[in-house]
Amino acid sequence: MRVLHVITGLDAGGAEQWLRVLLRYSRDRADVVALSNPGVLAEALRGDGVRVSDLGMRGNSDLAALPRLVGHIRRGRYDVVHTHLFRAQLYGGLAARLAGVRTVVSTEHSLNATLIEGRPTNRPGVRALYRAGSRLATRTVAVSGSVAERLAEWGVDPRRVVMIPVGIDKRAFAFDGQARRRAREPLGLPAGAALVGGVGRLVASKRFDVLVRALAGIPDAHLALVGDGPARPELAALAARLGVRDRVHFLGELLDVAPMLSAMDVFASPSPEETFGVAILEALAAGLPVVYVRCPALDGVGDPGPATSAGPTADAFGHELGAALSRPGTDRSAPAVVDVYDAARSAGLIDDLYRHLVPRPTGGDGGGREPETMGTHGA
């Protein structure tokens, strides 16, 4: 089976990181095309032995990129084109159809009630354009039940939607005492200082300002933010105004967040717009207590382990953070909920979906039924 993954860019975001994990566990030969901004993950994927190409799009309306992508797909003789993120869904789906590929899979990672990939969903024409893009796909993969419900609300045919969660490799995030010491040393933390951590793009929708404000009410604690983005100057200025700038550490994008997760004492996710919650599961895999506002991955799974939901305000979130920091705990083993989202299982479900949709691939190993454990949402 020959698969081409088309993704909008390859910064170190949740969708992009999941693509790298997926390719590690997939049974199929796969290449990757980034429409633009290959980012830090491009070299990481190449290091994994994946062929990565950069289409070099200059913007959302760069139609000249379309024939280049069509040619790339034709030359590769791919059995499946699998798109990730909205722009890739549009350009990748259309290019696949023009190139004669009959099987197009689109994974929806980031459709929220008010945002899609950090941009408002109420912009004129967004829903109509999204529906048109979704019709180019043979199946749309929703990463959570809430995403599947949102797709139905947006008019995507539920019979064409399947729910396959993101998977993580819990071994990659297991607590490491030596890594903890090495990661904390450059921060210059006082001995025994509590470190709160957050991971994600520094954009307004992630609401990391809530963490900065909450930190002001937790004496002696420090905050480490892993990620980068346009909100960084505003967050730094806010920390300075609140008198906690020396306790807020901006670490930028990290390809491997595991050592920093070992360095943290509590993980915090103040965003109310999460569609899955990969970073939360990674923190739980590192044995961290977690305080969060929204995490669909933890909805309806029974015992969430050391994870506590909190209100979205700085006061409410700060209260739960303080409570989590005050609880004694030296056990940094991963809770059972992490095993629900095993990377090998999720990758296997996607491989099985390909085989259900492509009975006679050019690369062989085809045919099969739609996986029972996945099902077709709403069918």
Is the pLDDT at 370 greater than 80? The verdict is: no
Better pLDDT: 138 or 127: 138
Task: For residue 231, give its domain range.
Answer: 170-339
Residues with Cβ within 8 Å of 195's Cβ and at least 6 positions away in sequence, in order, are 184, 187, 189, 221, 222, 223, 224, 263, 264, 265, 266
Task: Look at residue 338 in the predicted model and tell me its pLDDT.
Answer: 95
Do 323 and 185 fall into the same domain? yes
Q: Mean per-residue pLDDT for 83-100? A: 95
Better pLDDT: 192 or 118: 192
Is the pLDDT at 364 greater than 60? The verdict is: no
Q: Mean per-residue pLDDT for 23-35? A: 96
338-363 residues labelled b (16+ CB within 10 A) or e (exposed): beebbbeebbbbbbbbbbbbbeebee
Is the pLDDT at 371 greater than 60? The verdict is: no
Please state, in angstroms and rounded to a whole number, the distance separating the CA atoms of residues 279 and 275: 11
- State what percent of residues in the chain have pLDDT above 90: 75
Do 114 and 231 fall into the same domain? no
Do 106 and 213 fall into the same domain? no
Do 82 and 16 fall into the same domain? yes
Please state, in angstroms and rounded to a whole number, the distance separating the CA atoms of residues 204 and 350: 32
Beta bridge partners of 197: 224, 267
Task: Look at residue 363 in the predicted model and tell me its pLDDT.
Answer: 59
Task: Look at residue 62 in the predicted model and tell me its pLDDT.
Answer: 86
Residue 22 lies in a domain: yes
Q: Mean per-residue pLDDT for 309-329? A: 90
Least confident of 39-43, 183-187, 373-377: 373-377
The closest alpha carbon to 62, from 103, 97, 93, 90, belongs to 90
Assess contact for 79 and 358: CB atoms under 8 A: yes
Residue 362 lies in a domain: no
Give residue-wise pLDDT tens across range 52-90. Answer: 999 999 888 888 999 999 999 999 999 999 999 999 999
CATH number for 111: 3.40.50.2000
Please state, in angstroms and rounded to a whole number, the distance separating the CA atoms of residues 91 and 212: 39
Better pLDDT: 273 or 351: 351
Task: Look at residue 361 in the predicted model and tell me its pLDDT.
Answer: 65
State the virtual CA torsion across 79, 142, 353, 345 in degrees, nearest 10.
120
Do 212 and 113 fall into the same domain? no
Do 20 and 94 fall into the same domain? yes
Give residue-wise pLDDT tens across range 257-293. Answer: 999 999 999 999 999 988 899 999 999 999 999 999 9
| φ, ψ dihedrals at 7, nearest 5° | -135, 150
Task: Look at residue 369 in the predicted model and tell me its pLDDT.
Answer: 44
Q: Which amino acid is at 141?
A: V
Q: Where does the pLDDT of residue 11 fall: very low under 50, low under 70, confident under 90, or very high at 90 and above?
A: confident
Residue 27 lies in a domain: yes
Do 30 and 55 fall into the same domain? yes
Task: Look at residue 119 in the predicted model and tell me its pLDDT.
Answer: 74
Tokens of 180: 């903890």
Task: Look at residue 319 in the predicted model and tell me its pLDDT.
Answer: 93
- Helices (DSSP H) in the chain: which residue ranges? 14-25, 39-47, 65-76, 86-98, 126-134, 145-153, 177-184, 208-215, 232-241, 258-263, 278-285, 314-326, 343-357
Is the pLDDT at 145 greater than 70? The verdict is: yes
Do 15 and 163 fall into the same domain? yes
Q: Mean per-residue pLDDT for 111-138? A: 82
Query: How many domains is the chain partitioned into structurally?
Result: 2
Task: Look at residue 374 in the predicted model and tell me its pLDDT.
Answer: 45
Share the mean pLDDT of the chain.
Answer: 91
Do 163 and 175 fall into the same domain? no
Residue 279 lies in a domain: yes
Do 347 and 333 fall into the same domain? no
Please state, in angstroms and rounded to a whole number, the distance separating the CA atoms of residues 130 and 267: 34
Task: Look at residue 273 in the predicted model and tell me its pLDDT.
Answer: 85
Do 99 and 175 fall into the same domain? no
Better pLDDT: 152 or 113: 152
Beta bridge partners of 199: 226
Do 41 and 152 fall into the same domain? yes
pTM here?
0.88
Task: Look at residue 373 in the predicted model and tell me its pLDDT.
Answer: 43
